[in-house]
Amino acid sequence: MASKKIVVVFGATGAQGGAVVRALLQNSSFAVRAVTRNLDGNGAQELKKLKVEVVKGDTDDKEGLKKILSGAFGCFLVTNYFDHLDMNREIQQGKNVADACKEAGIKHLVFSGLENTQGSGAAGPVYHFDGKAKIEEYIEEIGVSYTSTRTTSYNENFLTFFLPRKTAENKYVLSLPMGNKLLYLMAVNDVGHWVVEILKDPLKYKGKKLHLAGDKLTLDQVCAILSKHLKPKQFEYVPITVEDFAKLPFPGAEELAYMFHFYQLKADNFRDVAFTKKLYPKTQSFDAWVQGNKDKLIQALK
């Protein structure tokens, strides 16, 4: 029997990387090497239960990364800007992993990238996009075979950051700065399946930036879907302006306001839902995701 191809997964204890680990485990051609900074943490313990190789690693530690990548076929990299809110640090972390991939002779790197927003007309800088665009450029420059998975807002944000606000018994208001433009959405678990499709045929996707999403909806449509599945709860979209959102009292509000403005400007073709469904036909619509996550949503809305 041919030996399995090892894929090193960064962010394995998190949303995107965790999805990649689960999807790789469903494919008998691949073996997972999951990376975490904390081998004693709950995330690492959960991964060990899946009988996955778990190794300690930190994208800030350039030297340590070489050993982690040695002998591997592929790598999935997601960098986490929100860990430190420092664009230059995120760029350096991405470069460290890209350099280590090159030195280790990795056959294909899938990077969770995003585009540059500078010059787009967005009302201000969106550092967590711009840093990832710089990492994409660097990977290209050093000649590592790669694909960028440019994704979009997780449906799971409706359980936390986009959670509708209760205004009366069974009445909820969703307030985001999207006007009546389309918001592109995805179930974060689908990232795993998209990445596996890419790693199954790296030559097909080599050098490409894939614009991935499971759905595109106005927030009125989002509210209609939530109201349909979560009866008797009813949801209404009440837009907020980019300027007012930027003033909200939480860290990063200003940058997220600019991100929503960028989403608005790109709403006609931010992501390619039809292509995404061709890549992985079981990619979930928002409607299907809500249906499958009713209990979690009801719990979060309490």
Contacting positions for ligand NAP (CB under 6 A): 10-17, 35-38, 41, 43, 57-60, 78-83, 93, 128, 151, 153-154, 157
Residues facing residue 76 across a β-bridge? 9, 110
CB of 183 to ligand NAP, least distance (A): 11
CB nearer to ligand NAP: pick between 81 and 260: 81
CB of 62 to ligand NAP, least distance (A): 11
Reading the block at residue 91, the tokens are 């760029």
CB of 162 to ligand NAP, least distance (A): 9
CB nearer to ligand NAP: pick between 80 and 145: 80
CB of 58 to ligand NAP, least distance (A): 4
- Type of residue at 272: D
CB nearer to ligand NAP: pick between 97 and 242: 97
The closest residue (CB) to ligand NAP is: 14
CB of 170 to ligand NAP, least distance (A): 27
Residues facing residue 209 across a β-bridge? 148
Q: Are strands 215-217 and 74-77 parallel, antiparallel or unpaired?
A: unpaired
CB of 94 to ligand NAP, least distance (A): 10
| Alpha-carbon span 295 to 24, nearest angstrom | 27
Within 8 A by CB and 6+ apart from 101, the residues are 69, 75, 109, 144
CB nearer to ligand NAP: pick between 143 and 154: 154
Output the CA torsion sign for 174, 11, 129, 107: negative
Q: What is the CA radius of gyration of the chain?
A: 19
Burial class (CB in 10 A: 0-12, 13-18, 19+), 42: exposed
CB nearer to ligand NAP: pick between 167 and 269: 269
CB nearer to ligand NAP: pick between 36 and 264: 36
* DSSP code for 110: E
